[in-house]
């Protein structure tokens, strides 16, 4: 009797699902390529660990669905209809989730073609759903001022959070980027002025100038910042630390932001990304060049940045509607 090949642990299927899949030779063969696919996402594609986890979670759900439905498919049976049946099963998916699951399957198939497992893409007819365009509405400047006054200046955590807020709005960083910066990323004495070097999405590097407001907040925080060994900040140390003296987690800051927003009388559902939107929108409204904003945000494609021109146009329409005597 042949020994059953263990499933890739990276997919984390349940014991019952693993047992069921192990009895399905076709499905087991498909699953056998999952672990190498996970490595490919990071080493070849340059995806972040979070994106890797998201993609592998989608694959786990896909195979769990097939196992529950008793569909022991092979590569020859893998068609757009099989994928559509999975996407249609269970709860109604948002357009964003549906499209990410389609992206997962497409990326997995491209990997199988690239490695010679498949000759052609069997999901070529699978199309993404069109997402409704939603313009990011920036925060008003007085709202930002009210928010920034909330974190306490008497505690290290309050000073830390105020500095992070200044960095998100003053440099347009993503919260994951802000939480992961180290002392090596800060260039405070450069010939052009203080700046920060960021490794963004897709391992794309960019340099962003720093504002004086952030530098003041940073100095105040560093004066009370805890350290792992009680000594001064060393090269390579994370800047923003949690209570356990590890780098503060993005989700931890998101929860703190909800409290600050509520205390400031603002919508507590706003996310750190709203400050990045506000950074870009306010720069553009004050005459900044769209391509300069593209570089500052780290967008690979100018079309990602051009949405902020629509925000500005929307503001112009609001001005005419609300201020013109004949509107």
CATH number of the domain encompassing residue 262: 1.10.443.10
Give residue 300's pLDDT band: very low, low, confident or very high (50, 70, 90): confident
The tokens describing 225, both together, are: 């910042």
Domain for residue 319, yes or no? yes
The tokens describing 127, both together, are: 């199309």
Give residue 205's pLDDT band: very low, low, confident or very high (50, 70, 90): confident
Give residue 98's pLDDT band: very low, low, confident or very high (50, 70, 90): confident
Give residue 241's pLDDT band: very low, low, confident or very high (50, 70, 90): very high
Q: Percentage of the chain surpassing pLDDT 70?
A: 85
Helix (H, G, I), strand (E, B) or coil at 149: coil
Task: Give the per-residue pLDDT at 7.
Answer: 40
Domain for residue 95, yes or no? yes
Domain for residue 123, yes or no? no
| Residues annotated as catalytic (active site), given as ranges | 174, 201, 273, 276, 299, 308
Task: Give the per-residue pLDDT at 230.
Answer: 58
Domain for residue 198, yes or no? yes
Task: Give the per-residue pLDDT at 155.
Answer: 94
Domain for residue 127, yes or no? no
Q: In terms of domains, do 218 and 288 share one?
A: yes
Q: What's the whole-number mean pLDDT along residues 103-111?
A: 90
Q: In terms of domains, do 171 and 294 share one?
A: yes
Domain for residue 277, yes or no? yes
- Domain residues for the domain of 254 are 141-323
Domain for residue 1, yes or no? no
Domain for residue 132, yes or no? no
Query: What are residue 187's DSSP bridge partners?
Result: 195
pLDDT in tens, 117-154: 888 888 888 888 776 666 678 899 999 999 999 999 99
Q: In terms of domains, do 148 and 282 share one?
A: yes
Question: pTM of the prediction?
Answer: 0.62
Query: Sign of dihedral through CA atoms 227, 229, 230, 231?
Result: negative
pLDDT of residue 164 exceeding 70, the answer is: yes
Q: In terms of domains, do 275 and 231 share one?
A: yes
Q: In terms of domains, do 57 and 168 share one?
A: no
Q: Report which of 285, 283, 269 is spatially closest to residue 170, judged by C-alpha positions.
A: 283
Q: In terms of domains, do 249 and 108 share one?
A: no
Task: Give the per-residue pLDDT at 323.
Answer: 62
Q: In terms of domains, do 152 and 86 share one?
A: no
pLDDT of residue 3 exceeding 60, the answer is: no
Q: In terms of domains, do 77 and 180 share one?
A: no
The tokens describing 91, both together, are: 């709860």
pLDDT of residue 274 exceeding 90, the answer is: yes
pLDDT of residue 262 exceeding 70, the answer is: yes
Give residue 8's pLDDT band: very low, low, confident or very high (50, 70, 90): very low
Q: What does residue 313 show for φ and ψ, rounded to 5 degrees?
A: -60, -40
Q: In terms of domains, do 173 and 273 share one?
A: yes
Q: What's the whole-number mean pLDDT along residues 63-73?
A: 85
Q: In terms of domains, do 184 and 66 share one?
A: no
pLDDT of residue 208 exceeding 50, the answer is: yes
Burial class (CB in 10 A: 0-12, 13-18, 19+), 199: middle
Distance between CA 204 and CA 74 in Å, rounded?
37
Q: In terms of domains, do 291 and 178 share one?
A: yes
* Whole-number average pLDDT of the chain: 83
Give residue 320's pLDDT band: very low, low, confident or very high (50, 70, 90): low
pLDDT of residue 1 exceeding 50, the answer is: no
User: How many domains, in total, are found in the chain?
Assistant: 2
Q: What's the whole-number mean pLDDT along residues 66-82?
A: 86
Q: In terms of domains, do 203 and 96 share one?
A: no
């Amino acid at each position: 009797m042949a020994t059953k090949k263990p499933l890739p642990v990276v997919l984390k299927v349940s014991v019952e699902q693993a047992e069921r899949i192990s009895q399905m030779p076709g499905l087991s063969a498909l699953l056998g390529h999952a672990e190498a696919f996970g490595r490919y996402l990071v080493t070849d594609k340059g995806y972040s660990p979070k994106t890797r986890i998201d993609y592998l979670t989608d694959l786990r759900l896909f195979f769990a669905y097939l196992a529950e439905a008793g569909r022991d498919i092979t590569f020859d049976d893998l068609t757009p209809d099989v994928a559509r049946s999975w996407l249609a099963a269970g709860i109604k998916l948002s357009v964003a989730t549906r499209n990410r699951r389609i992206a997962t399957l497409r990326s997995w198939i491209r990997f199988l073609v690239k490695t010679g497992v498949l000759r052609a893409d069997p999901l070529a007819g699978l199309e993404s759903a069109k997402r409704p365009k939603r313009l990011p509405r920036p925060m008003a400047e007085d709202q930002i001022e009210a928010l920034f006054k909330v974190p306490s200046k008497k505690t290290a955590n309050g000073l830390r959070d105020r500095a992070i807020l200044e960095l998100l709005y003053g440099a347009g960083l993503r919260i994951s980027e802000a939480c992961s910066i180290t002392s090596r990323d800060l260039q405070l004495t450069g010939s052009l002025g203080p700046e920060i070097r960021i490794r963004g999405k897709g391992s794309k590097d960019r340099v962003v100038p720093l504002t004086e407001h952030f530098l003041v907040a940073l100095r105040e925080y560093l004066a009370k910042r805890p350290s792992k060994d009680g000594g001064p900040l060393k090269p390579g140390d994370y800047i923003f630390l949690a209570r356990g003296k590890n780098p503060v987690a993005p989700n931890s800051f998101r929860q703190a932001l909800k409290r600050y927003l509520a205390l400031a009388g603002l919508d507590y559902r706003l996310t750190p990304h709203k400050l990045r939107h506000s950074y870009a929108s306010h720069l553009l409204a004050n005459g900044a060049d769209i391509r300069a904003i593209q570089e500052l945000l780290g967008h690979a494609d100018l079309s990602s940045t051009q949405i902020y021109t629509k925000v500005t146009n929307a503001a112009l329409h609001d001005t005419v509607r609300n201020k013109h005597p004949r509107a």
